[in-house]
Amino acid sequence: MQFRSLAFALSLALVSAPAAWAGQRGQAKEQVEFGIQVAQRGLWKEAIYRWERAAQIDPTYAAAFNNLAVAYEHEGQLAKARAAYEKALALEPNNALVRQNYDLFKEINDRAAQKDGR
């Protein structure tokens, strides 16, 4: 009887885990999409807030970190932008779009670093 209860609990957990994960991703996706809308209207601070929320809700969502990096770059927060790009690439190392963004960012960041004599 005990074994049956345990098996039931385990299978319930297995069934509900992907559903919970999908729910988190869904919420994060909503935040990301809203962030894109406001960024397109030039409201970058609001976009940052949305993408930070998305990254909190689902810390495995590479798009949230990529977008956050772009926003930080636009705001001149280059150290934060680098960290966010690196996180996005760690989550999706083969994502060519994130890689392209990161390469473009590095060009600017290296120039700024050269100027600072860093």
Partner 1 sequence: MTARHKKTVVRRTAGGRTKATLCLALLAVATACTSYTEIPIETPIQPKLDVSAFQRIFIAGFIAGANEDVDANMETVRLLRSQLRNKGIMRVIDADTLPLLEIAKQNSGDANTPPVPDQQAVTPAQDQDKPTVINDEKDLERYQHIFANVAYWKKIGEEYQQPLIVTGAVLITPSQASGFVQREQETYDPFGRRVVISVRTYMERKGFILRPTFIFIDGRTGETLHSETFREQILYNANQQTPALSSYFELMDRLLPAFLNTLSAQKIKGTRTLLK
Tell me the residue type at 24: Q
Q: Which is nearer to partner 1, 8 or 21 (CB)?
A: 21
Q: Report in angstroms the alpha-carbon separations of 32 from 16, 53, 77, 110.
A: 24, 9, 20, 28
* CB contact at 8 A, 81 and 73: yes
Sole window of 8-16, 19-27, 59-67 interacting with partner 1 (rule: CB under 8 A): 59-67
State the binding string over 72-111 for partner 1 (x if CB under 8 A, else -): -xxxx-x----------------x-xx-xx--xx--x--x
Min CB(46)–partner 1 separation in Å: 14
Min CB(38)–partner 1 separation in Å: 11
Helix/strand/coil (H/E/C) assignment for every residue in 37-82: HHHHCCCHHHHHHHHHHHHHHCCCCHHHHHHHHHHHHHCCCHHHHH
Q: Site residues (CB under 8 A) for partner 1?
A: 29, 32-33, 36, 39-40, 62-63, 66-67, 70, 73-76, 78, 95, 97-98, 100-101, 104-105, 108, 111-112, 115-116
